[in-house]
Amino acid sequence: MEELKQRIMKDGQVLSDSILKVDSFLNHQIDPLLMHKIGQEFAYRFKDEIITKILTVESSGIAVALMTGLELNVPVIFAKKKKATTMGKETYTGKVYSFTRKESVNITVAKKYLSSEDKILIIDDFLATGEAAQGMLQIVEQSGAEIVGVGIVIEKAFQKGGNLLKQKGIKLETLVQINNLSQGQVEM
Ligand code: 5GP
């Protein structure tokens, strides 16, 4: 997706050999027009699949997932990182080690929003080690729903997440692949 590549080149900040900061359009301030185009692109890439719901994890996946849900006309669920008392006891839970925060969190979805009849598209902002995606897969597996695929805005292809998903036979669509972040440069 050319526009996204150009935006990363213009506004992305390389914080280290493994972390790219895109706070000005995706992770803190959000560009709605770009998010809309990303949603349209995911909808196009998964147009031949039957999808009943989109699953993401709070917080940075929500904007992209919402725009994709708008295009596909399906509900969007975001797994919560802090279980609210209002969620009740009937929940599915996945475990995620956060690459950026260096801590493990449980992510939770209320059982009433996922069932064995659902066909799920997982959407997230970044794919790095694959922890977040695997936490969401655990949730989908517990519900008995079917995984249709995973859509990622920015994949850091030098980390293991992409291979992990492909080894599981999951259809993976990434809009931009980053091959290297060394010496302060983004190599796509
Ligand atoms: P993973 O679980 O695949 O290691 O990482 C996925 C999650 O970590 C994403 O949802 C994203 O929030 C965060 N993340 C991983 N790498 C980066 C990065 O280079 N930059 C930013 N901004 N977030 C990242």
Q: What is the C-alpha separation between 19 and 45, in angstroms, rounded? A: 27
Q: What is the pTM of this model?
A: 0.96
Which atom of ligand 1 is found nearest the CA of 129? Answer: 4
Q: What is the C-alpha separation between 135 and 109, in angstroms, rounded? A: 11
| Ligand 1 center from residue 156 Cα (angstroms) | 9
Q: Which of 43, 44, 26 is nearest to 35 (CA)?
A: 26
Q: For ligand 1, is residue 8 a contact (CB within 6 Å)? A: no
Question: pLDDT per residue over 130-145, tens digit each?
Answer: 999 999 999 999 999 9
Question: pLDDT per residue over 65-108, tens digit each?
Answer: 999 999 999 999 999 998 777 888 899 999 999 867 788 999 99
- Given this model, what pLDDT does residue 169 score? 98
| Ligand 1 center from residue 12 Cα (angstroms) | 14
Nearest CA to ligand 1 atom 16: 128
Segments of 37-140 assigned E as strands: 53-57, 76-79, 91-98, 103-110, 119-127
pLDDT for residue 36 is more than 90: yes
